[in-house]
Structures are given as structure tokens and as C-alpha cells.
Amino acid sequence: MRTAIVATGSELISGLVQDSNSKFLAKNLNDLGFKIENICVCGDEKEKIKQTIEKAAKNADLIFITGGLGPTKDDQTKEAFAEAMNLELHYSEEIENRLKDIFCNYQSDMTSNNLSQAYFPTGAEIIENNRGTAPALKIEIDNKRFYLLPGVPSELKYLFKNKIKSQLVNLTKNSLLIKEFNFIGIGESTLAAEIEKLELNSALEISYQAGRAEVKLRLKIDSSKINDQNLKREIINEASKKIKSNFENHIYGEDGEDILSKVHKILISKNLSIATAESFTGGLIAERLTEKGGSSQYFWGSIVAYNKKIKENLLNIDSEFLKKYGVVSEECAIKMAENAAEIFKTDFVLASTGAAGPSAHNGKNAGTMYLALYYQGEIKTFKILKNYGRKMNRFYTSQIALLEIYKLIREREENNV
Amino acid sequence: MRTAIVATGSELISGLVQDSNSKFLAKNLNDLGFKIENICVCGDEKEKIKQTIEKAAKNADLIFITGGLGPTKDDQTKEAFAEAMNLELHYSEEIENRLKDIFCNYQSDMTSNNLSQAYFPTGAEIIENNRGTAPALKIEIDNKRFYLLPGVPSELKYLFKNKIKSQLVNLTKNSLLIKEFNFIGIGESTLAAEIEKLELNSALEISYQAGRAEVKLRLKIDSSKINDQNLKREIINEASKKIKSNFENHIYGEDGEDILSKVHKILISKNLSIATAESFTGGLIAERLTEKGGSSQYFWGSIVAYNKKIKENLLNIDSEFLKKYGVVSEECAIKMAENAAEIFKTDFVLASTGAAGPSAHNGKNAGTMYLALYYQGEIKTFKILKNYGRKMNRFYTSQIALLEIYKLIREREENNV
């Protein structure tokens, strides 16, 4: 069923407030299997609202209109809707009485402004709003269904979840089967090119969403293409298997949970401890490892040795060693991890050194970065050569660090250590 | 000038991602005096994009189109735009060469997908994108101006601020006189209540925008209310003076520059060094102080002593002392700063300890936080009692830390030290 969303409000059109209602509705409607044709935002002038509603009604059969149901002068959605659809506005004593009750409960005075909320378009069904004064409205005209919803996000969400969702379920048979994968350490375009080579079933819609130093891949089958539920599941499963076996080094999850949450949970459940020794990441890895409540169960501490003297004095690295290999080197990363492991005595130590940028550092180009991961006397190293700009270089490295800890613990688990 | 925004992307229309780009553009265009007619979001099917662009072009003279400039199959905005406007697509060797350079810098392989980014509509002016692979485009057709911008928010923001804004200033005569102040350490509603008491000129529109642990206040006179340029300036100046004298402890800037940039510049210009000793902030203050290129000029390092044992072993705090005062105490913060000053020998040391939350720590409620700021043998302390949730508690404290360093250096400057 073709669906459209109209959001009204001068605070939205002037960019002062983020239009979170449309995102909420789109997400929930999409999950129910509705296809959103468009989302249009306009100001609160009656003429603008009217035009926007007319356009939305042209291309959709289910239309959600949000905002402008309040008691003030700039609340004109009902009037605009009535004009667009050639309806009259009627005064409802039922709503008037309801309003009087609400104000009595609030122990507030009702103004004549508030009574404007008792007018509604002919034929509208009133949906009680238990969270505010403006009731929502449902109206059916020429096989199209309209919902007028208040703009206050908490009221809209409440009404949608508790009163409207159940009215929609019968409207769509178009249930979708969706599968998601999260990747770290591979770019969107490279991933897309590699996925293309897998020649997955053509009934699949594959979409990519680049996050912060990670990529999400979505597999989806639209019911309009294949109807058999078992066949759909089979296609999704086969594609999932291929993807997993081809990208096992990069996939860290299939459930929408971010890498930090995964690392947090696994460190706690395995009762492992960790510390960091950081140069160019400047404390970022420590900061991320302590982001979640309960992180004191696994995180001991960090030495951020930004200056060369601090690498010598706190991490006990010989100045001759630093001179020989340079601070931006695999050798330096290893030494940082080794020495920090002696200092912190944790199960894991992550050490980072590199040239974050924007300019070269210690004779190495910006974006030359090293990670060393200590575990039980052994050290794995990772050389990263990517230059996405200083901030992203640091964050990218922290993502790789989290991914590699997670993978190492998982491997250890598989080997029953 | 009538302005419209078109945002494309299946992740937007399906509600998976919040369309923050449109809000950013609307806000900035509104500030420049442009009137936004509408914001329309559509999926990434070529036909949908084409229709949405056609509609937007009907009612506006300045049109921003975002998203769909990337290298994958679902990036079809340029094709849709060319069809909507009856333009041809041409291949640009200039862009091809630029892409090759970028991938060479990234040390990544370029795929044939990426070369699709070298096609662009006839007559388009290329706006170099220093933050990603997709260049932005500017096209003038029949007295209408179109901008095609990449959908990645960081790239879009960068391009708008650095390349596009200056091209727009001449398009609007509706000049507004605006003054902004940035506050740290006072909440939006408290600030608003205090400002009301100042009884500022009624011709002023005062708006507030809550940022991340800071608040921006905007004074604005709309030209439709007062026309005389001198009178406007006078009203703004008078109000500014009142605000500054009443909130000198909280205002850190009037120029839109964030506190981190201010601290970065002043530390470099005064040739001062700094280190941190962090407990509950977990490296966040160090991470922020090293965010900017050139921070090695002032930042030496940090000891993140998350675990009590690390406070003892690395920060040399006696276990009896910790037992006596507790780790969440002013005394502990002072001792951390003192001892770290001996270790790092920097001009400044910032020490943090507290209960970040969600639960109480060391007998102190979540949101009980202490900062100690060492400078030339003296220590200033700050007790912060705010519970905004773990993540914001930490960030809020880092904001206070940056504000207090900045204020201390400014004071020192005023006293000609």
C-alpha cells in the first residue's frame, strides 16, 4: 500500500527542530511492510499545508499528517485538511467535554483557544489521546485513509503504538524478510564490488549503509516478487551463508548490536581484563572501553604516551630503541604492548602508535597506523594504511582494535581455552 | 528566495536513519535569510528522485538535493537529475584523475563502481569534496540554482560551510542582525529564566539551542520589525553587554567557535603544556585534547587510572589515603593532580574522579564528580553534581574541564603573567 507522510511546523522547516516523528513513522510503517513513497515537510501556513496534503494524496493511499492540531493560532492542519478534501468543520460537544475534563485534571484554566480543538472535519473518527489535549483523527475518503496526528513526539508515538498500529496490520500482506550484517575494515564500495561477484539470487534487494567506520548490509525480499514464504527464507539463508563465509574477517554481527556492546559483554562474560597504551589515539580506545556502565569489571587503565619522553619514562622504552625504529613503527607498537602488559598485568593490552595526520609524523605519511594486541605473552600486530582525515583515522583504528579483540576472544572460545 | 530541499535515500524513507542533513541545511539557510518552502524525502529509485526534483523545482529557485552521489548501484541522483532537467551525462577525466589520486592516498583499490562517480550532468560546476570521493555539483538552469550534495553528513556539512555558504550570501537581501553566545555549565531552562529577568528590548527575538553539554543563545532582529540599521546594532549591543556581564562565568565565546578550538589555540599561542590523570572520564579528556592536529605541541600524556590498584601503582597514591577519603572525593582528585604534575612536569594537569553512573560508586551517588586543575603548584577544584546519565556525565565534566582551563589562561593573560 502506497504510503506518504506529511510533517507540518515552522520549527521543522526552519531547521530548529529535528523531524523525529517522520523517522519514527517511516521505520514502523516500513517494518509493517508499507512502502513509503515520500516524506514532505512544510511550514504551518494553511495554504502550504493544503498543497502538501493534496500532493501527498495524489501518490498514496495511506497518508499520515503530523503537527498543527494544538490550540494556538499557528495550528491550522485541520482547516487545511478540510479545505484540501472539500470537507466542512463541525463543532463537537463530545470533544469540548473531554477538554474540560482534561483541564480539570491538570488543575489549569481552559482558554477559548483550547476550544478551537473541538472542531473537526466531517466524517472524522476521533482517536482518544491519553497523553495530551489534541485528539488524533482518522478519516477515510475515496478508498484513501488519512491519519492526523499531534506533533508532540511522545503523544504521536503513544498513539501510533497503542491505537493505530493494530488498525494497520490488516492493510498489508506485504511482509518482508530482512537480514542485516555489520562490517568493519572494509569500505562500502569495495564491499559492494565483492558482493556483486557472489552473484546472489536476483530476487534480493541489497542495500548498504555506511556508518562511522563501519558498513551495514541489508538483504531484503519484497513480497511483490516472490510470494512463497519458505522460498523467501531459503533465498535469504543461502545468501547469508555465502556472505558469512566470504567476509568472516570483517563481519562482527547480524543483530544490529554495535561492536562496543559486543566487546563489553564478552569481556564481562569471560571475566577478562584489559588495559591500553596509546599514542596517536590519545586515549580514544580507553574512552570507548569505559563508555558503558560496568566497564570497571574489565578495564584497568591506560597510559597515553603522546610525547616521546612519556614513552620513555612511563612505558620504559629505551630512547635508543625509539631512535632506531622510530615511534611510528610496528616495533614501537609491540614494545608499548609488552611493557604495558608488565605494568598493568591484564589479560589483554592494546597498544597504538601512528601518524594521525593531517601531516606526516616521524617520517611516516599521515594514516600510517599500527596496533599491537597482547594476549598471554603473545602479540598480534596490525598495520593500517588509510587516510580518512585525522579524526576518522583515530576512530577507524579504534574500530579495528575492538573488532580484533572480539575476534580473538571468539577464537579462544572456539578453541575452548 | 524560495528554497527547497530534496533528500534521497532508502535508509531515510524507511526510517532507518534520521535525515539530519535537511535539518542542517534548513537551519543554515534560514539563518542566511532564505525561506524554505518544503523538504521532501524520497527513496533511491531513479523515477522517484526525478519526480521529487521536478516538484521541488516548480516551487523554488534554489534547490538542494542530497544523497545518491556515491559509487554503488543505488546511487542514482545524477541520472535522475539529468532526466528531470533534460540534460546529458558526460564523463569527466578530471574527476577520474581526482578519484585515482584519492584512492592512491587511501592506499585502497579503486573499483569500476567508483568510476561511475566521474559522470556528471552537462553544465555542472564541480565543487571539490575534500572529505570524500563524491564531488558536489552546482548547476544553474533557467534562473534556478541547484546544488547536488553527498549524503554523508560530515561531507555535506564540510562542503556547505567551506564552499557553498559564501556563494549564497549575495542571493539574499533579507539581512538579519544576529549575535550568538556560547554557554557551558548552565542549562537551557535556567538560562532562559535568568535572561527573562534582564528585560531585554522587546524587538529582540531570543532563541536557545541546546548543544552537547552547552547552550547557544541567539539574539536576532528581523528586518521586518525595525529597519534602521544603526538602531538595530544599538539594541543588539546593549543586550550583549547585559548578557556578558551577567554570565561571565559561563560564556566562553561569541563567534561560533567551540571550546575545544579555543583551548587548542590558546595553549599553542601561550606555549603551555598539559597532561591528564583520569578516573571516571576514562581517557575522554585526553582524547579531546588530542583531537586536533598539532596537539602534540601542548599535550604530553595521560594516566587513566580506572582501577584502584592503578591509582596506587601508577599515580603513587597511598592505599591508606584512598581508604580514608575514598576514590570519589575532592582529596583524591587533588592527590591525582599533584602526583601527575610530578610525573608529567607539565604546566597544567587536569585530574578527574567521580561516579559516572548508572549506579553509585564508592558510596557516592551517580553524578558526583570532581575535577582538580593544577597550575604552577596551585590546585583549583570543582565539584559537579549533575546526573544526566553516564555518557553525558563524562562529557559534561570534560566540557567544564575545558572551560576552566580556558578561563584560567585568560585570567593569567589579563594579569600579564
Does the beta carbon of B58 lie under 8 angstroms from any beta carbon of chain A?
Answer: no
Which residue, among A286, A285, A291, A287, has the nearest Cα to A261 in the 3D structure? Answer: A291
Per-residue pLDDT band for B350 (boundaries 50, 70, 90) equals very high
Residue A163 DSSP label = I
Query: What is the H or E stretch that residue A115 is in?
Result: helix A112-115
Question: Cβ separation of B314 and A291 shorter than 8 Å?
Answer: no
Does the beta carbon of A357 lie under 8 angstroms from any beta carbon of chain B?
Answer: yes
Q: Lowest-pLDDT range, A192-196, A242-246, B27-31, B272-276?
A: B27-31
Choice between A100 and B368, residue whose per-residue pLDDT is larger: B368
Domains A177-253 and A259-414 share a fold: no
Name, in order, each residue with C-beta under 8 angstroms of B319's C-beta and a sequence gap of 6 or more: B308, B312
Does the beta carbon of B289 lie under 8 angstroms from any beta carbon of chain A?
Answer: yes
Does the beta carbon of B261 lie under 8 angstroms from any beta carbon of chain A?
Answer: no
Query: What is the H or E stretch that residue A242 is in?
Result: helix A229-246
- pLDDT single digits (tens) B295-310: 999 999 999 999 999 9
Architecture label for domain A259-414: Alpha-Beta Complex (3.90)
Helix, strand or coil, per DSSP, at residue A149: strand
Give percent of chain B with pLDDT exceeding 90.
65
Q: How far apart are CA A369 and CA A384, in angstroms?
A: 5
Overall size of chain A counted in residues: 417
Buried b (16+ CB within 10 A) or exposed e, A150-160: bbbeebbbbbb
Distance of CA A344 to the CA centre of its chain: 35
Which residue in A has a C-alpha nearest to residue B295's C-alpha? A306
Per-residue pLDDT band for B173 (boundaries 50, 70, 90) equals low
Chain A residue numbers touching B30 (CB-CB < 8 A): 14-16
pLDDT of residue B417: 60
B181-201 mean pLDDT? 90
Cβ atoms within 10 Å, residue A172? 17
Q: Which three cell numbers stand for residue A8?
A: 507540518
Whether B284 contacts B398, CB under 8 Å: yes
Does the beta carbon of B358 lie under 8 angstroms from any beta carbon of chain A?
Answer: yes
CA distance readout (Å), B140 to B60, B87, B122, B143, B145: 13, 12, 11, 6, 4
Whether B226 contacts B203, CB under 8 Å: yes
Maximum average pLDDT range among A119-123, A209-213, B147-151, B360-364: B147-151
pLDDT of residue B269: 96
Question: Cβ separation of B303 and A299 shorter than 8 Å?
Answer: no
Choice between A46 and B103, residue whose per-residue pLDDT is larger: A46
Question: Cβ separation of B111 and A189 shorter than 8 Å?
Answer: yes
Residue A2 Cα, gap to closest chain B Cα (Å) = 12
CB nearest B307 (choices: A20, A39, A301): A301
- Tally C-beta pairs within 8 A across A and B: 254
Phi, psi of B258 (to 5 degrees): -80, 165
Question: Cβ separation of B343 and A25 shorter than 8 Å?
Answer: no
* ipTM reported for the complex, 2 dp: 0.73
Q: How far apart are CA B400 and CA B368, in angstroms?
A: 14
* Whole-number average pLDDT of chain B: 90
Which residue in A has a C-alpha nearest to residue B11's C-alpha? A209
Longest CA span, chain B:
80
pLDDT tens across the length of chain A (417 residues): 899 999 999 889 989 889 999 999 999 898 788 889 999 999 989 999 999 999 999 989 999 999 998 777 678 999 999 999 999 988 888 878 887 877 776 656 666 667 777 888 988 998 988 877 788 999 999 889 999 999 988 889 999 999 999 898 777 755 556 788 999 999 888 999 999 999 999 989 888 877 889 998 988 887 677 878 788 889 999 999 999 999 999 999 987 789 999 999 999 999 999 999 999 999 999 999 999 999 999 999 999 999 999 999 999 999 999 999 999 999 999 999 999 999 999 999 999 999 999 889 989 999 999 999 999 899 999 999 998 889 999 999 999 999 999 999 999 888 875
pLDDT of residue B99: 77
CB nearest B287 (choices: A29, A190, A287): A287
Chain B residue numbers touching A385 (CB-CB < 8 A): 107
Whether A333 contacts A353, CB under 8 Å: yes
Question: Cβ separation of A208 and B74 shorter than 8 Å?
Answer: yes
pLDDT of residue A316: 97
Q: How far apart are CA A381 and CA A252, in angstroms?
A: 19
Chain B residue numbers touching A207 (CB-CB < 8 A): 10-11, 74
Choice between A290 and B32, residue whose per-residue pLDDT is larger: A290
Can you name the CATH fold of B177-253?
A: Alpha-Beta Plaits (3.30.70)
Chain B residue numbers touching A183 (CB-CB < 8 A): none
Residue A96 Cα, gap to closest chain B Cα (Å) = 33
Does the beta carbon of B69 lie under 8 angstroms from any beta carbon of chain A?
Answer: no
Q: What's the 3-state SS for chain B?
A: CEEEEEEECHHHHCCCCCCHHHHHHHHHHHHCCCEEEEEEEECCCHHHHHHHHHHHHHHCCEEEEECCCCCCCCCCHHHHHHHHCCCCEEECHHHHHHHHHHHHHHCCCCCHHHHHHHEEECCCEEECCCCCCCCEEEEEECCEEEEEECCCHHHHHHHHHHHHHHHHHHHCCCCCEEEEEEECCCCHHHHHHHHHHCCCCCCCEEEEEECCCCEEEEEEECCCCCCCHHHHHHHHHHHHHHHHHHCCCCEEECCCCCHHHHHHHHHHHCCCCEEEEECCCCCHHHHHHCCCCCHHHCEEEEEEECCHHHHHHCCCCCHHHHHHHCCCCHHHHHHHHHHHHHHHCCCEEEEEEECCCCCCECCECCCEEEEEEEECCEEEEEEEECCCCHHHHHHHHHHHHHHHHHHHHHHHHHCCC
Does the beta carbon of A12 lie under 8 angstroms from any beta carbon of chain B?
Answer: yes
Choice between B72 and B184, residue whose per-residue pLDDT is larger: B184
Question: Cβ separation of A209 and B11 shorter than 8 Å?
Answer: yes
CB nearest A190 (choices: B12, B38, B108): B108
Helix, strand or coil, per DSSP, at residue A168: helix
Which residue, among A64, A207, A23, A188, has the nearest Cα to B14 in the 3D structure? Answer: A23
Question: Cβ separation of B287 and A284 shorter than 8 Å?
Answer: yes
Does the beta carbon of B138 lie under 8 angstroms from any beta carbon of chain A?
Answer: no
Question: Cβ separation of B14 and A25 shorter than 8 Å?
Answer: no
Whether B335 contacts B305, CB under 8 Å: no
Question: Cβ separation of A48 and B38 shorter than 8 Å?
Answer: yes
Domain ranges of chain B: 2-171, 177-253, 259-414
pLDDT of residue A141: 93
Question: Cβ separation of B300 and A285 shorter than 8 Å?
Answer: no
Does the beta carbon of A33 lie under 8 angstroms from any beta carbon of chain B?
Answer: no
Does the beta carbon of B392 lie under 8 angstroms from any beta carbon of chain A?
Answer: no
Q: What CATH number does the domain located at B2-171 have?
A: 3.40.980.10
> Which of the residues B41, B52, B314 would you substitute to probe the A interface, choosing the one with the greatest number of A C-beta atoms within 10 Å?
B41
